[in-house]
Amino acid sequence: MPSPLPANVSFYITKREMNSDYAMPTLEAASSHYELGYMLSGDRLTITPDCSYALHAGSVGTMPPFIYHRTLPLSGAPYNNYLIKFTPDFVRPLTDSFGPHILDELFSQLANHFTEKMRGRILLYFEELYELFQSDSPYDKFRIQWMLCDLLLAVLTNRLPAQSPDGSGANSGPFLHRTPLTPPIIDAVYYMEQHYQENPSLETVALLAGYSASHFSRLFHAQLGKSFSEYLTRIRIRHVQDLLLNTQKSVTEIALETGYLHTGNLSEQFRQQTGMTPLQYRKSYTYPIMPS
């Protein structure tokens, strides 16, 4: 479980600097507080029973209580962020003014993206809240409370609309699962995300999930709407996209790094997924585009 807030603590903010390969070891869910995080750097995938989504530098992730989730890296970029935890009582001025549903509305969109100008303004909120939290002025709790309420409204009113799952760009919407994922399937997807370079077999992942290959295959397709091999290809192509746009590595080097034995196999699957060759894709974009 995420670390709970200590007794009599209703607000907490930390600035985290973590290894680029940090991955949550288990499914976790908060039970009594909300979480709000600003990505300073890094690329992260979050898997929940209902959807999977990506966060990049400048994104704000929200997480209400009782949603089990796991996160893992999408790239080798350092993972740094501000993380706020707060209880519902701490933002009572906001809920008293607009009703308790405002938190439901805000936290219904777990991945929040903004224009470049607005990203800077949102970051200033986190920076000032962090500075205030470090001080011992008797007035700072009051200032933090109202600034947090203002930050929540800024996120709610300025975030870009989530696009459909097949949208492109940094504001791609979450990939909605066909049905809620069961914990064994979440663990299986998590394993695939971490070991895609090894081209794990259906039988290997089924064994880890505790099912026969045939039963696992049916469950996987029923919950994710894709076969095991289709989903594994999707994972590998997403990492190929990241390497094409964020490194100068050759297509051959990228093929080897993402588990393709032959460049031709990578190019064929890449064209099927994106409609262009890897080099065409690299030339077409000047900023990362990764499906959630």
What pLDDT, in 10s, does the model give residues 78-115? 999 999 999 999 999 999 999 999 999 999 999 999 99
In a domain, 239, yes or no: yes
* pLDDT given at position 166: 38
Give the confidence band of 3 by pLDDT, cuts at 50, 70, 90. low
C-alpha–C-alpha distance, residues 261 and 35, integer Å:
42
Tell me what the mean pLDDT of segment 185-205 comes to.
Answer: 92
Question: How does pLDDT run across 269-284, given as a tens digit for each residue?
Answer: 998 888 889 998 888 7
Q: Domain range spanning residue 22?
A: 11-158
Q: What is the pLDDT of residue 286?
A: 47
Same domain? For 152 and 203 the reply is no
**pLDDT of 170:** 40
Question: Do 218 and 109 reside in the same domain of the chain?
Answer: no
Q: How far apart (Å, rounded) are the C-alpha atoms in residues 274 and 279?
A: 12
Q: Which helix (H) or strand (E) holds 55?
A: strand 51-56
**What's the CA gap between 2 and 29, in Å, rounded?**
6
Helix (H) or strand (E) holding 43: strand 43-47
Share of the chain above pLDDT 70, in %: 91
pLDDT at 2: 56
What are the φ/ψ torsions at residue 62 (nearest 5 degrees)?
Answer: -120, 145
pLDDT at 25: 77
Are residues 115 and 146 located together in one domain of the fold? yes
Number of structural domains, the chain? 2
173 phi and psi, to 5 degrees? -75, 175
pLDDT at 225: 85
pLDDT score recorded for residue 261:
87
Q: pLDDT tens-digit profile of 19-73?
A: 888 888 777 888 889 999 999 999 999 999 888 899 999 999 999 998 988 898 8
Q: Where does a domain end: 130, 158, 186?
A: 158
> How much of the chain, in percent, has pLDDT values that exceed 90?
59
pLDDT at 34: 96
The beta strand positions in the chain, using DSSP E, are 11-18, 34-41, 43-47, 51-56, 60-63, 70-73, 79-86, 111-112, 175-176
Statement: residue 1 has pLDDT above 60: no
Find where tokens 């990505």 sit: 39
Average pLDDT over residues 180-184: 90
Domain harbouring 271, CATH code: 1.10.10.60
Do 15 and 127 fall within a single domain? yes
Q: Name the strands in the sheet holding 60-63, side by side, starting at the edge strand that comes first in the sequence.
A: 11-18, 79-86, 34-41, 60-63, 111-112
Question: Mean of the pLDDT values across residues 244-248?
Answer: 85
* Gap between the Cα atoms of 92 and 138, Å rounded: 20
Q: pLDDT value at position 163? A: 61
Q: Quick check: is 20 in a domain?
A: yes
pLDDT value of residue 224: 87
Together in a domain, 19 and 149? yes
